[in-house]
Amino acid sequence: MVADQEKEGTPEAFVEQIKDALEHLYDLPYLQQLPLTTPDSAEPASLRLRRELAAAIDRLGAGGDPSHSAPARFAQLLRLHYLEGLTVQDTAMELDLSIRQTFRDLRRAEQNLAALLWPQLAARQTALPAPAGFDEEIERIELHPSTVDAGSLLLNAVQAVMPLAEQRGTRLVLQGPTGLATVCTDPTLARHFLIYALSQVLQQIGSGILSLKLDSEAGTPVLTVSCDSETELMLGPVAEQLARRLGWSIALVGLPQPALVLQMSRPGTRLLIIDDNQGLLDLLHRYLSGQPCLMTGTRSSTEGLRLADETAPDAIVVDVMMPEMDGWDVLQRLRVNPRTAGIPVIVCSVLGDPGLARALGASLCLRKPIDRETFLAALRELGLL
């Protein structure tokens, strides 16, 4: 009997990996990056993993009657929910189970499937991470923001979930696809969030039409997801945590029909750093990791003035001691140019002279060496973060 078999020797982290793979069974790019996949010359690793999971589900319930055998019932639960894409509610109705019993049995089924696969896949595990809550895992993700087209992000996510939509008989209708508005975000995490959110919605609705409308409100991309049924759409805590990590907001509306409204973050702060020390440019770039900022750095005073004039950044950080043209000259030239006169300037130098800096038009003066908290606090003081 496989049901309720001894779980010792099957790490909880491996159980979570199996569950993660099942939840993304038809997202081949996602499966491809999981630690459960290994290169194989005969077939893509993602297809191989999907085949192994399906075969293991068959083995789990082989020869049993779902009405009398726990292993067979577990296999049927996994088959209906993950392979055929039924919602938990539809799966419960199909097997004449309560919702509570279905959730409980699904968890046991995932554990037993992992126990069945552990001897087969254990060799692929080089180092299983210690179990942790999804919120802790998400908070530990290092963000690398960049400016991306919101429509392209959405199109990419739609392509990833298309196999699931086709399996469930759902037609995806996309409006406002590309070139509508840009968003400053981590493109990898944003893609995973959109794929996960669309997958969750698809698994809540039956056959029909799922409309994805991308609008722009004051330059901020807004995605509205609605279906042609009365199904109340919702996203779980994982999606909500991912949205918070991205700085996006999710709202549920009911008129004229149930819909999810996702507001993406606005384009981030654009910083221009003018400093002849490459080490300082690299340091400030690291300080800005995870912040909604786009940094452009140059070691040339002349190039810095040109970039400021052409790109109109939200703020400029300038050093004083530079060989080509010192920071005081740069600051004065920025102030007499009508196109750059209103841009906040932060003087950052070992020659800390806030009185002179402010007299020449600087907003703030920071003394080197500078730490991360001081630098970010200065940006917050100017309303840039």
Report pLDDT digits (tens) over 260-286: 888 887 556 888 999 999 888 888 888
Poorest-pLDDT segment among 44-48, 158-162, 198-202, 363-367: 44-48
Which among 283, 233, 248, 76 is positioned nearest to 154, based on CA atoms? 248
- At residue 243, the 3 state secondary structure works out as helix
Domains and CATH numbers, the chain: 12-128 (no CATH), 143-263 (3.30.565.10), 269-381 (3.40.50.2300)
Q: 34 vs 47, 97, 221, CA distance in Å?
A: 12, 32, 30
Q: Please, what sign has the CA dihedral across residues 347, 351, 356, 360?
A: negative
As a whole number of angstroms, the longest Cα–Cα distance in the chain is 85
Asked if residue 223 lies in contact with residue 174, where contact means CB atoms within 8 angstroms, the answer is no
- pLDDT-above-90 percentage for the chain: 20
Amino acid at 214: L
Burial class (CB in 10 A: 0-12, 13-18, 19+), 310: exposed
Which among 135, 112, 110, 119 is positioned nearest to 18, based on CA atoms? 110
3-state SS, one letter per residue, for 77-121: HHHHHHHCCCCHHHHHHHHCCCHHHHHHHHHHHHHHHHHHHHHHH
Poorest-pLDDT segment among 33-42, 271-280, 304-313: 33-42
Confidence of residue 95 (pLDDT cuts 50, 70, 90): confident
Whole-number Å distance between alpha carbons of 338 and 348 = 23
pLDDT digits (tens, 9 = 90+) for 368-382: 888 988 999 999 999
pTM over 0.75: no
Burial class (CB in 10 A: 0-12, 13-18, 19+), 230: exposed
